[in-house]
Amino acid sequence: MLTARTKHIKESLFAEKRRISLERGLLYMESYQKTEGERPIIRRAKAFRHLLENHQIVIDGYDLLVGNRSERPRAGVVSPEMSPYWILDELDEFPTRPQDTFEMSEKDKATYREVLYPYWSGRSLNDWYTAHRPAEVAAAEKDRVFAVAQTDKGQGHIIADFGEVLTRGLGSILAELREHLAAEPDNEFYQAGVICYEAMIEYVHRYERIVREAAEGKPISDAHATVAPAETPERATELARIADILAHVATEPARDLYDALQLVWLLSVALQHESNASSLSLGRMDQYLLPYYRASKAAGATDAQIRELIQCFYLKVNTIIAVRSTDSARFFAGFPIGYNIVVGGVDENGNDASNELSQLLLDVQRDTRLPQPNLSIRIHKNTPDDLLHKAAEIIRLGDGMPQCFNDEVNIDSFVGRGVSLADARDYGVVGCVELSIPGRMYGLHDISMFNMMRCLEITMHEHREGFESFEALEAALEKTIDRYVALMVRGCNVCDEAHRETSPTPFLSVLVHDCTENGRDITSGGARYNPSGVQGVGTANLADSLYVIKKVVFEEKAMSWGHLLQILDRNWTDDGDEVIRQRFINGYAKYGNDVDEVDELGRHFLQHYGEEVAKYRNVRGGTFQPGSYTVSAHIPLGAAVGATPDGRRAGEQLADGGLSPMVGRDKHGPTASLLSVSKLDNVLDTNGSLLNVKFSPSTLAGEEGLQKLMAYLRSFSRLKIQHIQFNVVDRATLLDAQAHPEKHQDLVVRVAGYSAMFVELSKAIQDDIINRTEHVL
């Protein structure tokens, strides 16, 4: 359970309404005004330094760890240098928009309109992208088959090599950069790297000075610091210890868990200051923190002290949330920031790598019960029963964590894409379900979502005369997919170039192999692995729709092609249409029920999409890699699609998750759904895939329920499905929370690849979660 300290910290996270913060935008602008004419990577490094020197540092009277991104926790930090336009459009809408609301003062609105917007307009990343985007790509985006993401935000979806910093120390990294710069004095990457790491070391010392002054009861000399005074001798002692830790980790390797957690958190805060991006994930913490955990234990730290320290860390990651445009918030609802932590899995030799810290990191979720960190567990055939049992216990809590990833397919997937076996065995998770190699991959994992149902709709309307055979329809659909994939790739590459030309990230890049060796930023191809990830969405609805067409039009000949189009065009509104719609929904097999003929249609087109995507290369020298997940985008992507033969009405949501059956259509239990998903070519989805399963809490009750869930997870592993996650909450609770949100402020649910506070979700997404099939085992 939480201690008195951590309970107070948790309560303080939600004590005030979320507000928009302009601090980062103003400080970046101040720096950019002084660096006109310099190269982008140098300007970014100097802006990073200026922010670390001047942003408001806040230290409360309770926490054992320091490091804040914004003056208030859970503030929405905007980045007008990425795109100033959507922020201007939504200044008056932030408090009232349907999803992810924020307060904003009239003074800050005026500052944005009169100061920030005029400066950044015309010189942002979005401006570069818009100016260089081919007209054909712009036209294709209007067809709503795909939309290029990351054109208005910093790109995260990456795991820095935290373990190397803990082992080497910031001082060693800076010394290496200086050596490279001495050998290549004109290399701008090394110039920027030295600026960033000198600034980072001074940033840690800045915290040290502030904390030490507070510990000693002295006036705080830093004009940009707000510090709660040490009101007791015990708090003064705590602050003195924190100051000593900061003095050490400013340049030296970590000695114990306290050092390690403090340094990891300050690195995470600094990464946010540089990019203000989602999914700057934390990687395999049970692996790189283990030596420091054992060192603390050996030095006499108690289990209670260690648990409270990890609680403080978990609460810290909940201080940072993402602010997105109204449209983007529909795709990523609930403020997800993607602090993914992975436990379990195998080591570089293929042996089980789990340890005592793996279980503890899972168990602390029982204490905090918050959406972040986004906990994940890697499962394989030799995962110990005790770790699987612990995972089942935490899943049963109902917070949607941990989500489960399968080493039995994911490692082979990466090897098939050219990743070395040792690196593949070290894979982690970024953001929601995207697979990445910690400290070695810059994957642009969420650069676009591709709506395969929209491709079917376009194909049907382009061929109103019909087809001679079902096979001819399939061939035409494949051509439509191919046409739009080619356009999507072009748009993604322009976005990739926009990041390179306007928004390099030298601080982050130094923490990614082999950027320092290559002397190149990650945005210029410096990383060891450089894929671009694009998600194919709509597998379940596509399979269901094609199966109805195959049966009704081509085999049974119960309806003509023209008649079917007429029904869909009028959105099932004519007399008799509802009878037909119900027959299409209930009279024909659906994906997710272990019916080979319909599952094969899903497999074929997801495979076709994946193989087509993989033909292309990006501007960093890597390949495009497919994934299959929606986050919460199944709702807005469904809004882009008219009525479909599976019985959907125009604008209704698509199937959630990515590989999940359409809501309410998996009639034969959770094992049948697993079998359907197992028939897909899961090894192709190296960017990640997502399967949602909802269980009734009663089915997991007691030890018998835990054993059932463990057996289900073993089956998931044997079937070589990439990912699975669970909501364990009954419909009645969700309905009551929707009707009486004030009674359910702490209810955490799984959305799609991440968890969120249920009451902070829009009604459309709440309804989707409520309506997912509730299974029993």
Average pLDDT over residues 243-260: 98
Vertex 551, ends 546 and 556: CA angle to 5°? 155
- Poorest-confidence range of 200-209, 388-397, 536-545, 653-662? 653-662
> Above 90 in pLDDT, residue 465?
yes
Rounded Cα–Cα distance for residues 459 and 368 (Å): 49
* CA separation for the pair 200, 67 (Å, rounded): 12
Lookup: tokens for 151: 């054109």
pLDDT at 331: 67
Q: Is 161 left (phi over 0), alpha (psi -120 to 50) or beta?
A: beta
**How is residue 654 written in tokens?**
């698509």
Task: Say yes or no to pLDDT of 148 above 70.
Answer: yes
Identify the residue with better confidence: 394 or 758: 394
Q: What is the pLDDT of residues 734-763, one digit of tens each?
A: 888 899 988 888 888 887 777 878 888 888
Per-residue confidence (pLDDT) for residue 743, from 0 to 100: 85
Give the per-residue pLDDT at 128: 98
Mean pLDDT is lowest, of 307-321, 674-688, 763-777, for 763-777
Give the closest residue to 694 by CA, choosing from 656, 721, 720.
Answer: 656
Average pLDDT (174-194) is: 98
Q: Would the pLDDT of 765 be above 90?
A: no
| CA-wise closest residue to 451 among 684, 630, 608 | 630
Confidence of residue 4 (pLDDT cuts 50, 70, 90): very high
User: DSSP assignment of 688-738, as one string?
Assistant: -B--EEEE-GGGG-HHHHHHHHHHHHHHHHHTT-SEEEEEE--HHHHHHHH
pLDDT, residue 472, reads: 98
Q: What per-residue confidence (pLDDT) applies to 123? A: 97
Lowest mean pLDDT among 136-140, 518-522, 635-639: 635-639
Q: Is the distance from CB of 770 to CB of 735 less than 8 angstroms?
A: yes
Q: Residue 645's pLDDT band (boundaries 50, 70, 90)?
A: very high
Residues whose CB is less than 8 angstroms from the CB of residue 637 and which lie 6 or more positions away in sequence, other chains included: 449, 451, 453, 454, 537, 538, 630, 654
Burial class (CB in 10 A: 0-12, 13-18, 19+), 393: middle
Confidence of residue 271 (pLDDT cuts 50, 70, 90): very high
Helix (H, G, I), strand (E, B) or coil at 274: helix
pLDDT above 70 for 773: no
Beta-bridge partners for 535:
449, 627
| Separation of alpha carbons 90 and 207, rounded Å | 35
Q: Please report the pLDDT score of residue 483 as a whole number.
A: 98
Of residues 760 and 724, which shows the higher confidence score?
Answer: 724
% of the chain exceeding 90 in pLDDT: 86
State residue 382's pLDDT score. 98
Beta bridge partners of 374: 340
DSSP H or E run through 756: strand 755-757
3-state secondary structure 369-428: CCCCCEEEEEECCCCCHHHHHHHHHHHHCCCCCCEEEEHHHHHHHHHHCCCCHHHHCCCE
> Average pLDDT for residues 71-95, to the nearest whole number?
96
Q: Which residues of 698-709 are buried (b: 16+ CB within 10 A; e: fewer)?
A: ebbeeeebbebb
Residue carrying the six token digits 């340094």: 263
Round to whole Å and give the CA distance between 450 and 432. Answer: 17
Classify strands 225-227 and 280-281 as parallel, antiparallel or unpaired: unpaired
Among the listed ranges 230-244, 377-391, 431-445, 724-738, which one has the minimum average pLDDT value?
724-738
Encode pLDDT of 29-69 as tens digits. Answer: 999 999 999 999 999 999 999 999 999 999 999 999 999 99
Higher pLDDT, 154 or 498: 498
- The stretch 712-716 carries a mean pLDDT of 97
Question: What pLDDT is recorded for position 154?
Answer: 83
Instruction: Tell me the CA end-to-end span of the chain in Å, nearest whole number.
Output: 29
H/E stretch holding 287 reads helix 285-288
Q: Which pLDDT value is given to residue 759? A: 83
Q: If you average pLDDT over every residue of the chain, what do you get?
A: 95
Contact by Cβ (8 Å): 509, 193? yes
Compute the average pLDDT of residues 553-564: 98
Q: What is the dihedral of CA 599, 605, 610, 612, to 10 degrees?
A: 160
Residue type, 244: D
Structure token digits, residue 487: 């356009």
- Using CA atoms, how far apart are residues 532 and 613, in angstroms rounded to an integer? 10
Confidence of residue 764 (pLDDT cuts 50, 70, 90): confident
For the chain, percent helix, then strand, then coil, each to nearest 5?
50, 10, 35
Residue 60 vs residues 236, 244, 260, 367: alpha-carbon distances, Å: 12, 18, 21, 21
What pLDDT is attached to residue 754? Answer: 79
Helix locations, 91-154, DSSP H: 106-111, 117-120, 125-132, 135-142
- Is the pLDDT at 187 greater than 80? The verdict is yes
pTM assigned to the model: 0.96
CA 646 to the chain's CA centroid: 30
Average pLDDT over residues 222-235: 96
Mean local confidence (pLDDT), 12-21: 93
Q: Can you tell me the distance from the alpha carbon of 728 to that of 747, in angstroms, rounded to the nearest whole number?
A: 11
Average pLDDT over residues 587-606: 97
Mean per-residue pLDDT, 290-314: 98
- Residues 182, 190: Cα–Cα separation, whole Å: 9
Q: Is 259 left (phi over 0), alpha (psi -120 to 50) or beta?
A: alpha
Q: What is the pLDDT of residue 729?
A: 83
Closest CA to 86 of 58, 61, 120: 120
Closest alpha carbon to 499 in 146, 133, 152? 152
Residue 287 · residue 163 · CB < 8 Å = yes
pLDDT of residue 333: 67
Is the model's pLDDT at 634 over the cut of 90?
no
Residue 730, pLDDT score: 82
Listed in sequence order, the residues at least 6 apart from 513 whose beta carbon sits closer than 8 Å to its beta carbon are: 161, 439, 440, 527, 528
User: Does 334 score more than 80 pLDDT?
Assistant: no
pLDDT, residue 542, reads 98
CA dist., res. 268 & res. 460, Å (int):
48
pLDDT single digits (tens) 364-383: 999 999 999 999 999 999 99
Task: Specify whether the CB–CB gap between 727 and 759 falls below 8 A.
Answer: no
Is 293 within 8 Å of 49 (Cβ atoms)?
no
Please name the amino acid found at residue 711.
A
Beta-strand ranges (E) seen in 457-608 are 532-537
pLDDT value, residue 656:
86
Q: How far apart are CA 544 and CA 223, in angstroms?
A: 62
